[in-house]
């Protein structure tokens, strides 16, 4: 296609949303209204007819032959059919996530992958009790051939909707009504628990940052060792072929090279006055009412107890205590008075990126924090005082009773199960399911463009979030109790 006009002029909002694709396909740029060609959505549209009556050169655009189930004008289409004024017709193919032009073969491969993710939801998803701010992402994860997910607020409504449509029920693991499991069993309906994945966002969940990964577990949930989760079953029984572990190694190396973590918040550590020649040990604090602490750390169950145990095990080490970001922001319980913390730790490191800290320590002591896993993939030694999902595979020093899993894993086998096979990922720009490698690029770009504040919340924004949490959280808890949700914190961070 060799278009004559030097500019394109939009005739509708759909064209405006597809501007990048049309410019890439035609080689023309959109400009202010004036001389040049008009471009209209679909040949039979009213805008196309009006442009013909006015005698304007006209490009007409419509969806091409390759479509993914997630294609929408606002998020980009996999292919476009564009008709030039001289009646030449060409199909142009685009990467469904980046919107860059690609060839037909590559586009077919990507669309087939998206269709497979869509088909996984062959039974309609019925969500129960999902917070409204989480729904845009969850609606993409739950979309399937039978339609978009249905949202309900109570166990009774969820069971009724699932029976009506032949669906399956999914609930946020820590927000499920107490009666839900028994109600699903009585009705013969499948139930799965949903939780944030391990590469989540740039910003905290407590500050309502949309999560870009989830896990959907039909057996248990990864942070609760009282019941086998789908992750633990997978790690115990899966074969890990060389191609998969090679991919896991590359993924792990890219996470480390891009300096990514679950939340990607905090300032650079900069130059620190930590003494040379002493072993530096990091003790990451946790939210003390998190389910992973309540259920997965039977002997050490508070941040103070963890600090005491870490100091007893490492009497000569330089001990760093890092409060959990949600605790530090005032959103969640688990704070230790500064004087008490400094009686055990040599430094309190607040508001600093976990990645920067892991670059500067040799060892991590934790209850069940995800920091232990993030340390393992960076080659550090880790001691667990609880039973997190990464303990018991021969990669960490496990101090809690019952941690052994009965199988030894290589690090990249653990990474393959935890970051490739178990979670689901979302491209937060394209709003389509994606592979973890694609999400790494998005998180890096967002993190690098974000202000480097301690919690990725400016002073006024953070103050407003803290006020909202203090004022509204009691109301939210009462509403959850009315729906039969047991009190408690989040899962694992």
* Residue 297 belongs to some domain of the structure: yes
Residue 267 lies in a domain: yes
- Asked if the structure places residue 298 within a domain, the reply is yes
Last residue in a domain, options 357, 383, 407: 407
Residue 239 covered by a domain = no
Decide if 47 is inside a domain. yes
Indicate whether 461 belongs to any domain: no
CATH label of the domain that carries residue 395: 3.40.50
Question: Residue 491 domain-assigned?
Answer: no
Provide the whole-model pTM: 0.89
Averaged over successive runs of 10 residues, the pLDDT of the chain (493 residues) comes to: 63 87 86 71 73 72 94 93 83 95 97 98 97 96 98 97 98 93 98 97 80 97 96 98 99 98 79 83 93 91 96 97 82 85 94 91 97 98 98 97 94 99 97 98 91 52 60 62 60 63
Burial of 207 (0-12, 13-18, 19+ CB in 10 A): buried
Which residue matches tokens 């021969």? 394
Domain coverage including residue 401: 261-407
Of 407, 435, 469, which one is at a domain's C-terminal end? 407
pLDDT at res. 456? 46
Structurally, the chain folds into a number of domains equal to 2
> In whole angstroms, what is the distance from residue 324 CA to residue 159 CA?
37
- How buried is residue 258: exposed, middle or buried, by Cβ count under 10 Å (0-12/13-18/19+)? middle
The pLDDT of residue 428 is 96
Strand partners, 364: 282, 382
Q: Could you tell me the two tokens for 455?
A: 């919690």
Measured between alpha carbons, how far is residue 488 from residues 200, 216, 217, 292, 485 in Å?
21, 20, 19, 11, 9
What Å distances lie between residue 71 and 68, 100, 118, 431, 480, CA to CA?
Answer: 5, 15, 12, 9, 35
Write down which residue in 111, 136, 152 finishes a domain.
111
Q: What is the DSSP code (8-state) at residue 272?
A: -
Q: Is residue 60 part of a domain?
A: yes
């Amino acid at each position: 296609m060799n278009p004559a006009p030097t500019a394109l002029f939009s005739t509708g909002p759909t064209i405006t949303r597809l501007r990048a694709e049309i410019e890439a396909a035609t080689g023309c740029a959109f400009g202010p209204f004036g001389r040049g060609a008009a471009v209209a959505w679909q040949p039979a549209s009213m805008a196309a007819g009006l442009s013909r009556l006015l005698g304007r050169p006209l490009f007409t655009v419509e969806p091409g032959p390759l479509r993914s189930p997630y294609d929408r004008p606002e998020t980009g289409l996999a292919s476009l059919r564009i008709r030039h004024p001289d009646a030449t017709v060409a199909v142009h193919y685009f990467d469904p996530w980046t919107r860059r032009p690609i060839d037909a073969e590559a586009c077919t491969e990507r669309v087939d992958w998206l269709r497979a993710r869509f088909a996984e939801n062959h039974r309609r998803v019925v969500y129960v009790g999902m917070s409204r701010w989480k729904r845009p992402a969850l609606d993409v994860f739950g979309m399937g051939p039978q339609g978009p997910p249905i949202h309900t607020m109570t166990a009774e409504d969820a069971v009724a909707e699932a029976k009506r449509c032949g669906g399956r029920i999914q609930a946020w693991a820590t927000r499920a009504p107490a009666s839900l499991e028994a109600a699903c069993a009585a009705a013969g309906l499948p139930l799965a628990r949903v939780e944030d994945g391990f590469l989540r966002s740039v910003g905290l969940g407590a500050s309502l940052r949309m999560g870009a990964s989830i896990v959907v577990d039909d057996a248990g949930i990864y942070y609760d060792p009282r019941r086998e989760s789908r992750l633990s079953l997978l790690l115990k029984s899966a074969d890990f072929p060389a191609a998969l572990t090679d991919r896991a190694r590359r993924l792990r190396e890219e996470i480390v090279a891009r300096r990514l973590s679950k939340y990607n918040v905090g300032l650079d550590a900069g130059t620190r006055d930590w003494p040379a020649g002493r072993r530096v040990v990091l003790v990451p604090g946790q939210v003390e009412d998190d389910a992973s602490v309540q259920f997965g750390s039977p002997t050490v169950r508070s941040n103070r107890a963890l600090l005491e145990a870490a100091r007893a095990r490492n009497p000569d080490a330089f001990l760093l205590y890092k409060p959990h970001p949600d605790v530090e922001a005032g959103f969640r319980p688990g704070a230790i008075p500064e004087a008490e913390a400094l009686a055990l730790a040599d430094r309190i490191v607040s508001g600093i990126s976990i990645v920067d800290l892991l670059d500067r320590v040799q060892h991590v002591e934790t209850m069940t924090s995800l920091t232990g896993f993030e340390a393992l993939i960076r080659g550090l030694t880790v001691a667990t005082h609880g039973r997190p999902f990464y303990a018991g595979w021969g990669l960490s020093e496990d101090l809690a009773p019952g941690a052994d899993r009965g199988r030894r894993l290589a690090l990249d086998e653990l990474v393959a199960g935890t970051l490739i096979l178990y979670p689901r990922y979302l491209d937060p720009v394209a709003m389509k399911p994606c592979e973890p490698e694609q999400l790494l690029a998005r998180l890096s770009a967002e993190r690098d463009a974000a202000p480097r504040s301690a919690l990725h919340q400016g002073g006024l924004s953070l103050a407003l979030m803290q006020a909202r949490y203090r004022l509204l959280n009691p109301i939210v808890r009462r509403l959850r109790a009315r729906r039969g949700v047991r009190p408690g914190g989040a899962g694992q961070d």
